[in-house]
Structure 1
Amino acid sequence: MSLPLLRFVLSKALSRCPLRPVSHITVTSSALRPAWVHHTISPYQRVSFCTDAESVDVADHPKETKKLDPRGRVTFSSVGRKIGQRHIQLLGVDGEELGTVHRAEVVRMMDQTGLKLVAINENSDPPLYKLMKGKQIHEEQMRLRETQKAKTGPVQSKELNFSSDISLHDLETKLRQIVSWLEKKNHVRLTIKAGADRSTPLDEVLTQMVERITVPVGFVSKPTVVRGGRAAMCVLRLPSAKELRQKATDTLSETVKRDPDTPTST
């Protein structure tokens, strides 16, 4: 059949058929989604956006060394048998110089004498160590503990107020309270108010009362007249070791002046 004849037959057949509604093809929404939406990734294949600390080039960012806090607690103890350096500068139990010693020889000396090794200065070259007894180490630890305790924590302040006309019994009671506070390393603020008898300046009266305290005292502030002469005030504390030595020297000098025949210690 020729092509023109085929077209004629088809046109006649279509003209005789009734019109029918066109069927619409329903397209689901999933068919319109991009292909990458349907490609799921299992959890272990997901990419993490956290920066790996070990993948950073440490050559460009050198690690900072931690600075030591000068206020940190100082420790004092035996290093045991683990000596990090091959040769060390060694001191004997009485502080005598033993020279530079190999660590194996140091361990042998510790085994023979029963002494312990303590680091004195690990930053020196060679590092400085000392052989010590257990009792010596304990005493040094206690001394360091007391020193650190004195440096840390605020100083507590106590206060007493009384009149210059106070009775002797009441004064002795207050002085014992002052001693108790001073022994606990507290500062004590004393304020004396003018009584009926004002013949003696209040700062002198307060000085005389302080001289009756049974323990050595130092001053944060010495007796001073305040409130327009109506009171006197001072702040007491325990004396320092330097002040105690100076007091002993002054006392000895006064004794020699009074009695030139008194022998003096050299």
Structure 2
Amino acid sequence: MSTACLRWVLNHAPRGVCARALSFGGTASGSVLLSHKGRHVSAPLSWGWSPLSTTVVETGEGQVPKKNKKHFQDARGTIGSIGRKIHQRHLQVISETGENMGTMHRADVLRLMDEMDLKLVPLNENKDPPVYQLMTGKQIHEEQLRLREKKKAKTGPVQVKELTMSSDIGNHDLLTKLKQIQTWLDKKHHVRVTLRTGRVEHTQALDTSLEQMVLQVKIPVGFVSKPKVIQDGRAAMCILRPPSEKEIKEMNKGVAVPATNTSSHPANTDDPSNASNIGRTPDSQH
């Protein structure tokens, strides 16, 4: 079939079918037999009729239905009040102090929110009944800050700061170095501390001296690598990090450190925490 004949068939076929549809109304459908290079192809056609226009009806084949997106509290990784939009009839409620108040009707929960000026926060919407907690605005704000800091700590590489000291460092310089370590740890950095052998020879091991210096830091400290001797005994090194929440709880449960001597008592020159005594023998202290 030539190109001109094929074009004529395509132009006149819809008109003939639509003319039949006008007398009966509704929808007309059919097929056109096409021939191209000796091959016969049957193409389905479908038309819809209306008093004003004739439109081609799409069959909808090949269309992928859209999936409903469901967002849960656990997937969002954040916390916030749902206001007064409680879709469930019954829900398990946790008080602002963390006490389990059991299963309550949403009307009772709304009344409790109004009486105590509290907000309702979803904890686990997947349970049956779902778990919600009553919280104050301040509690929600603090929890949002905590989650933000936790997420920020997980993302991005950890910066490692380096600090080098000599074994015969003075008290003033040591305090300055310890304050710098504390500043870096407050910023969630790791700190690599290296203690090198000074001009004055010391009999105490460098790793022990470094451990005693770290104990003088005024904030809780965690270890990536504990003090150890390196460079054939010429230096000691450790890597400090901010402690985890579990480590802080264990430190708080430990025995309180006894108070240091007041000014009315003479200073204990044998105290190993004194930086001037680190690495010295008992004979050299007298």
TM-score by length of 2: 0.60
1:23-65 deviations in whole A, cap 9, x for unaligned? xxxxxxxxx9642356786xxxxx9xxxx8953487xx99698
Alignment correspondent of 1:165: 168
- Alignment partner of 1:91 is 2:97: no
Q: Report whether the alignment pairs 1:142 with 2:145.
A: yes
Aligned equivalents of 1:105, 1:69: Cα separation in 2: 23
Residue 136 of structure 2 corresponds to: 133
Match of 2:109 among 106, 109, 113: 106
The alpha-carbon distance between structure 1 residues 155 and 112, as it changes in their structure 2 partners (threshold 3 A), is: same
Aligned residue for 1:4?
Answer: none
Which one-letter code corresponds to 1:224 in the other structure?
A: K
Q: Distance in 2 between matches of 1:115 and 1:233?
A: 52
Rate the CA distance shift 1:93–1:165 in 2: closer, same or farther, 3 A: closer
Partner of 1:175: 178
- Residues 243, 91 of structure 1: CA spacing in aligned structure 2 closer, same or farther, 3 A cutoff? closer
- Three-state SS of the structure 1 residue aligned to 2:192 is strand
The structure richer in strand per residue is 2
Matching of residues 24-35 of structure 1 within 5 Å: 34-35=4-5
Residue deviations 1:166-204 (CA, integer Å, cap 9, x gap): 344333322221111111111100112222233332222
Which secondary structure does the structure 2 equivalent of 1:117 belong to? Answer: strand
Q: CA deviation at 1:76?
A: 1.2
Which residue, 216, 219, 224 being the options, matches 2:220?
A: 216
Alignment of 1:35-114 (within 5 A): 35-37=5-7, 54-56=60-62, 73-114=76-117
- Quick one: structure 1 residues 243 and 53, their matched pair in 2 at CA, closer, same or farther if it must change by over 3 Å? farther
Q: Quote the Cα distance in structure 1 between the aligned partners of 2:83 and 2:115.
A: 14
Contact kept? 2:73, 2:125, Cα under 8 Å? no
Structure 1: distance between partners of 2:115 and 2:227: 61
Which ranges in structure 2 are unaligned for 5 or more consecutive residues? 12-43, 45-57, 259-286
Q: Is the 8 A contact 1:73 1:148 kept in 2?
A: no
Determine whether 1:119 maps to 2:89: no
Letter in 2 for 1:116: K
In 2: Cα distance, 1:246 partner to 1:210 partner: 19
**1:205 aligned onto 2:209:** yes
Assess, with a 3 A threshold, how the Cα gap between structure 1 residues 168 and 99 changes in structure 2: closer, same or farther: closer
Residue matched to 1:240: 244
- Percent identity over paired residues: 52
Asked if 1:151 is matched to 2:154, the reply is yes
One-letter amino acid of the structure 1 residue matched with residue 6 of structure 2: W
Name whichever structure is richer in helix by fraction.
1
Aligned in 2, Cα 1:150/1:108: closer, same or farther, shift over 3 Å?
same
Q: Which stretch of structure 1 is more off in the superposition, 154-163 or 238-247? A: 238-247
User: Secondary structure in 2 aligned to 1:223?
Assistant: strand
The 2-side partners of 1:195 and 1:143 are apart by 44
Q: Cα–Cα, structure 1 residues 246 and 54, in superposed 2: closer, same or farther, change >3 Å?
A: same
Distance in 1 between the 2:59 and 2:70 partners?
19
Give distance in 2, aligned partners of 1:104 and 1:227. 71
How many residue pairs match? The answer is: 215
1:250 Cα deviation from its structure 2 partner: 4.7
